[in-house]
Structure 1
Amino acid sequence: MMVIFIRADGGNFIGLGHVMRMLVLAKELSSSHKVFFLCRDSSSDKEKYRSGIEKIIENNFIVITISEENVIGDILNLQEQYRAKLLITDSYEVNEEYFNILASHFKYTGYVDDTNKIKMNVSFIINQNFNAEYMDYSRNINFGTKLFLGTKYCMIREEFRNLRLENKMCKEKVTDVLLTLGGMDKDQNTLKILRKIKDTYSEYIHVVIGMAFDYDLERELIEISKINSNIKLYKNPIMSELMKKCDIAISACGSTLYELCSMRIPTIGVVVADNQEIIAKQMSENGIIIGGKWINTYENSEIRELLNYLIIKGDVRKGMISKQMNLVNINGVTLLKEEIEKMCI
């Protein structure tokens, strides 16, 4: 049994994407190993990382907080105490120094990457994204660094892996639309989109309220749902069950896209973070999603028009579903665990 450190943060300004995908990997690894999460905490703003820490604790993992001013030093102090064999990092708040210093204090280190922008002195790289296999990592990694690239290594949550959708058909009549923009929405994009699509041809619009939505946004969403009986709100839902009932989704272009593909739901992509831009563009060009633009570049009625287009065009939805079917390996995290164990044990 290994002791494993997973370093990931989530919160009101950085979202919950890093935490959510690391929870998938942590659950798989914890069946055979001891896993601890290392999460930054802020001395000046206790709300900054609260939602991420709470999400991890909610999933029954131990969280050890580290200072955002002394990340490397705190990890080294914890390593003296716990003697972890493996450190896996999923954070954009890293640099070459971070990797170089920590590599000499752990037998193995891994990094969950999306962008391939800096030199990464690690034992392995995980990049689950659609475009990962087209990235040239050779200049940013060591000669012996293992690469786990592409959607064959998708970290899909267990609730999606347990579903059986072999016989799912594309309905002729669209009745249910999903709107989900992730755990955080500081620019109130959920409300902006909802106001534009509330009068579309669908019968119901199912809106996800993320863990890190602020009080004012949540209150506004509640008010609009009171006026429009077709709008249904969900806080901390079982996403697989909610997706199962929906015919079309409007979604941020993070890891949720892979869950939607596994559920075979035609999707209008909305980019809300820098790391989503390239993935959204390539998935859109390949007909896996439509749209895939930055939220602020959509014309006033464009998202509503795209939604109505998908509602009317059953053949387009069928084509998107056929492309989704073979994109994602729903057991990618199991494969990932096997590869990590093969390397580290």
Structure 2
Amino acid sequence: MKLYLFYDDGAQAGLGHYRRVSALAHKLALLSSRTNPIESVLCPIITHKLDEVENLKAFCAQILSGEALGAVVDSYVFGREHFALLDSVFARLVCFDDTNRAVYPPQSFILNAAPNAHKLYAARTSRHLLGLGFGLSDEAFTPITAVRERVGDIFVSFGGSDLGNLSAQILPFIESSVLFAPHNPSLDSMPCVIHLVLGRHYPHTPPTRPYLKHYRDLSPVQMHALMRRCDIAISAGGGTLIELAASLMPTIMIESAPNQHFQISQFAALGAFKHAQSLAQIPTLIQSLLPKFARNQAKTTLKALRIGLELESALGNIFGLHS
């Protein structure tokens, strides 16, 4: 059986959409039997020009009756007509959502794994998979429980594109924090190291600093290995937040796109992460995470969130995959 994965791609979209549908496809592959494995068919929307409805119709016309297990869609580009077309082709349609867009067919399943996502859906039904219990991240992101005495390494990531170049804008604010203050006894002889992860579509010249290391287009395994080297993180509010939460990483969040606002605000309300409403707040928030007890408390809060525990059962029911 084939599972079709439609997702926004390219520099404007970053990598979050691809990472989410890929993680869901991996979950389904684990649920499927060896005798009837699931084949994932990647359908990057912009690359194949599927945002044009006629092209999407032509693509769907080639799908053989009975060969498709269903479709998963993670897109802001698709509108009501695109989703209606997919609903007519696929018996099972799962749609990732962040803001309760009014474009999804009534019989589709809506997946929003933001904390307290139920607040966005007044008319929710059993077809709404809402909240952190349905959180998705690659299995590479396992809990990091160790807490060092002092903060010596900071993980920084602003997604696959970072068109606004927060990666460069934030550096002076990190450097103005107490971590880089002259004669700070907590620094010993080695100042803090900033580990900056740049996405595949990062369009700017990478910034340089004496204590900056930058990395490009890391795999989930490489990303998590870097997280393990770090004490705190600074991130935008997309899919990386779920990965950081699953890794129990004390994190400062800053919004890089409007669709991130709800997830950021809810993580902050839970006390799981710190919310920087401007770059100017970064130094103060870094200082709040310097005490070891503060980072321990953050990990305890994140551990209690129990991310993704409801997802496997829900996917098994939707796609008829039962052990």
- TM over 0.5: same fold? yes
**Residues 92 and 319, structure 2, Cα contact 8 Å, conserved in 1:** no
The one-letter code matched in structure 2 to 1:210 is G
Q: 2:227 aligns with which of 240, 243, 265?
A: 243
**Residues 191 and 217, structure 1, Cα contact 8 Å, conserved in 2:** no
Matched, 1:109 2:93: yes
> Could you tell me which residue of structure 2 aligns to residue 97 of structure 1?
81
3-state SS of paired residue (2:89): coil
Matched, 1:3 2:2: yes
- Judging changes above 3 Å, is the alpha-carbon distance between structure 1 residues 208 and 37 closer, same or farther for their aligned structure 2 residues? same
3-state SS of paired residue (2:254): strand
Q: 1:152 aligns with which of 133, 156, 178?
A: 133
- Judging changes above 3 Å, is the alpha-carbon distance between structure 1 residues 330 and 120 closer, same or farther for their aligned structure 2 residues? closer
- Judging changes above 3 Å, is the alpha-carbon distance between structure 1 residues 336 and 175 closer, same or farther for their aligned structure 2 residues? farther
> Could you tell me which residue of structure 2 aligns to residue 329 of structure 1?
307
> Could you tell me which residue of structure 2 aligns to residue 339 of structure 1?
317
Matched, 1:309 2:288: yes
Of all paired residues, the percent bearing the same amino acid is 27
TM-score, normalising length: structure 2: 0.83
Q: Distance in 2 between matches of 1:211 and 1:137?
A: 37
Q: Distance in 2 between matches of 1:339 and 1:261?
A: 26
**Residues 7 and 88, structure 1, Cα contact 8 Å, conserved in 2:** yes
**Cα displacement string for residues 83-141 of structure 1 (whole angstroms, at most 9, x for unaligned residues):** 423121110123333233332222221211111120421332222111223332527xx
The one-letter code matched in structure 2 to 1:231 is L
3-state SS of paired residue (1:268): strand
> Could you tell me which residue of structure 1 aligns to residue 188 of structure 2?
none
Q: Distance in 1 between matches of 2:71 and 2:322?
A: 11
**Residues 270 and 291, structure 1, Cα contact 8 Å, conserved in 2:** yes
Greater shift after overlay, 328-337 or 122-131?
328-337
3-state SS of paired residue (1:116): coil
3-state SS of paired residue (1:79): coil
Q: Using the TM superposition, give the Cα deviation of residue 324 of structure 1 relative to its aligned residue in structure 2, in angstroms.
A: 0.6
Q: Distance in 2 between matches of 1:185 and 1:153?
A: 26
Q: Using the TM superposition, give the Cα deviation of residue 251 of structure 1 relative to its aligned residue in structure 2, in angstroms.
A: 0.4
Q: Distance in 2 between matches of 1:188 and 1:25?
A: 29
The one-letter code matched in structure 1 to 2:121 is D
**Cα displacement string for residues 172-211 of structure 1 (whole angstroms, at most 9, x for unaligned residues):** 3111111111111111110010132135416211110111
- Judging changes above 3 Å, is the alpha-carbon distance between structure 1 residues 11 and 82 closer, same or farther for their aligned structure 2 residues? farther
The one-letter code matched in structure 1 to 2:163 is K
> Could you tell me which residue of structure 2 aligns to residue 280 of structure 1?
264
Q: Distance in 2 between matches of 1:40 and 1:15?
A: 13
Structure 2: gaps (5+ residues)? 31-36, 180-190
> Could you tell me which residue of structure 2 aligns to residue 210 of structure 1?
199
**Residues 87 and 109, structure 1, Cα contact 8 Å, conserved in 2:** yes
What is the aligned length?
300
Superposed, which structure 2 residues align to 1:112-261 within 5 Å? 112-121=96-105, 122-136=107-121, 138=123, 146-160=127-141, 163=142, 165=144, 168-198=145-175, 200=177, 201=179, 203-214=192-203, 216-218=204-206, 221=207, 224-225=208-209, 228=210, 230-237=211-218, 238-261=222-245
Q: Distance in 2 between matches of 1:137 and 1:91?
A: 22
